[in-house]
């Protein structure tokens, strides 16, 4: 089980992504967050606190994950969390209940993060 960094009020994932876009330290990070935003964007959804106008909007609002710490979406935090998850899955060997392909998906995401980091650093450094 991953340690919880912060407790308190939760934030809808879409709102956490918006916050991370606004606070992005550089353009590549903002672009990555905008990609997340596009992937989860719902149609027909209004801001929190206002009833959604349709069934799709209501369902979208209901199933939207909530997180307590938006910083877990930042590149460094995601990489650390995924590395811990990979290490735990590997250390448990065959006894770990890993969905087929799950460990490979984690490793692919870690490679993608490293690629993004190299690209970001080359843009910032060059």
Which of 99, 106, 90, 113 lies closest to 36 in space, CA to CA? 113
Q: 68-98: per-residue pLDDT in tens?
A: 888 888 888 889 999 998 898 888 776 666 6
Which of 82, 83, 79, 61 lies closest to 14 in space, CA to CA? 61
pLDDT at 1: 39
**What percent of the chain clears pLDDT 90, i.e. is strictly above it?**
12
Instruction: Dig out the tokens for 120 from the structure.
Output: 């970001």
Instruction: Dig out the tokens for 83 from the structure.
Output: 């590395």
DSSP secondary structure, 63-101, as one string: H--EES-GGGGSHHHHHHHHHHHHHHHHHHGGGS-PPTT
* pTM metric for this prediction: 0.58
Instruction: Dig out the tokens for 66 from the structure.
Output: 């909530």
Residue 60 reports pLDDT greater than 80: no
Q: 109-125: per-residue pLDDT in tens?
A: 999 999 988 887 787 66
35: exposed, middle or buried (Cβ count in 10 Å: 0-12, 13-18, 19+): exposed
pLDDT band with cut points at 50, 70 and 90 for residue 3: very low
Average of per-residue pLDDT across 35-64: 67
Which of 118, 33, 108, 98 lies closest to 72 in space, CA to CA? 33
């Amino acid at each position: 089980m991953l340690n919880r960094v912060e407790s308190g009020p939760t934030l809808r994932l879409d709102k956490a992504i918006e916050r991370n876009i606004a606070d992005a330290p550089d353009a590549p990070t903002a672009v990555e967050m905008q990609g997340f935003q596009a992937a989860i964007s719902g149609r027909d959804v209004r801001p929190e606190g206002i009833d959604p106008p349709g069934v799709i909007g209501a369902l979208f609002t209901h199933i939207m994950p909530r997180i307590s710490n938006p910083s877990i979406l930042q590149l460094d935090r995601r990489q650390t969390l995924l590395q811990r998850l990979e290490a735990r899955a590997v250390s448990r060997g065959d006894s770990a209940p890993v969905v087929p392909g799950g460990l490979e998906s984690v490793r692919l995401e870690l490679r993608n993060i490293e690629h993004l980091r190299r690209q970001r650093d080359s843009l910032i450094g060059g």
